[in-house]
Structure 1
């Protein structure tokens, strides 16, 4: 009789618990508990009802535990949009590496990059400060950025 009830009870637990693997465990636990308790039930239909009720209760208990765990994890987890804890260290290291590569650029390219991006000057202001034409600023900037991209390409973003 227990063998005939296995699959219907597993289906019931799977529908209640929402997890087929957990459903097998739930039904197995109920079979074990019923075997251990050996309730004095003369009518087989009552016995099946007893098993069904046990599966229902175990499924409810599992769902309650899962809700509690999820609630706890949601409270203890940083928000999904929060940056990783080591982000500032990684960014600082990337900045150090970038500055080291900027230091190795040819003098004109280094000057143009520093004036344009660190000082925030326009192309015209950079050209006036460096004493070169705006075209030279554009070409030097382009070459410097290409070099920096090549040097930094192995760095994860």
Structure 2
């Protein structure tokens, strides 16, 4: 009689838990629990009722655990629009590479780049600080940027 209840209980567990593979495990666990209790098999209806109740309870427990796991994973998972975890490290490395190339520029180009782009000075303010003409500031910035672009492009091509 209990063998005849196997498939109906598996179907019930599958509908309750939403997963056929898990349903088989749930019913198997319930049958095992009944076997451990060694009930008097004279009252088969009582044993079947016990199995149904056990399947319902274990299916509910499984769904609770699954909700807990999903909630935890949702909190642990970074948002979809979050930057990659190593982004700051990569940006810092790229920044170090850029600074090493800036350090290799000729002195005037380095001064103009630092004043214009790191300090955020205007062209007129850069002229006043360096004491050179506006044309020299423009030319130095142009040549420095071209050198930096070329060097950084070569570096990225090597990777």
| Alignment TM-score, normalising by the size of structure 1 | 0.64
Matching residue of 1:35: 35
Which is worse superposed, 53-62 or 128-137? 128-137
Gaps of 5+ in 2: none
Deviation at 1:93, TM superposition (A): 4.5
Q: Which has the larger radius of gyration?
A: 2
Matching residue of 2:22: 22
CA distance in 1, matches of 2:11, 2:107: 74
Q: Pairwise mapping of residues 97-112 of structure 1 onto structure 2 (< 5 A)?
A: 97-112=97-112
Q: Pairwise mapping of residues 5-154 of structure 1 onto structure 2 (< 5 A)?
A: 5-42=5-42, 44-68=44-68, 77=76, 80=79, 84=85, 92-123=92-123, 125-126=125-126, 129=130, 131-133=133-135, 136=139, 139-140=142-143, 142-147=145-150, 149-150=152-153, 153=156
Q: How many residues align?
A: 153
Q: Measured at CA, do residues 21 and 137 of structure 1 come closer, stay the same or move farther in structure 2, by a change above 3 Å?
A: farther
Contact persistence 1:30–1:54 (CA under 8 A): yes
Deviation at 1:119, TM superposition (A): 1.1
CA distance in 1, matches of 2:3, 2:109: 81
Contact persistence 1:112–1:126 (CA under 8 A): yes
Deviation at 1:11, TM superposition (A): 3.2
Contact persistence 1:17–1:63 (CA under 8 A): yes
Which is worse superposed, 46-55 or 102-111? 102-111
Provide, for residues 81-139 of structure 1, a one-character-per-residue CA deviation record: whole Å limited to 9, x for no partner.
6995x876665544333312221234454333212211112345446645352652563
- The alignment's C-alpha RMSD in Å is 4.0
| Alignment TM-score, normalising by the size of structure 2 | 0.63
Contact persistence 2:13–2:55 (CA under 8 A): yes
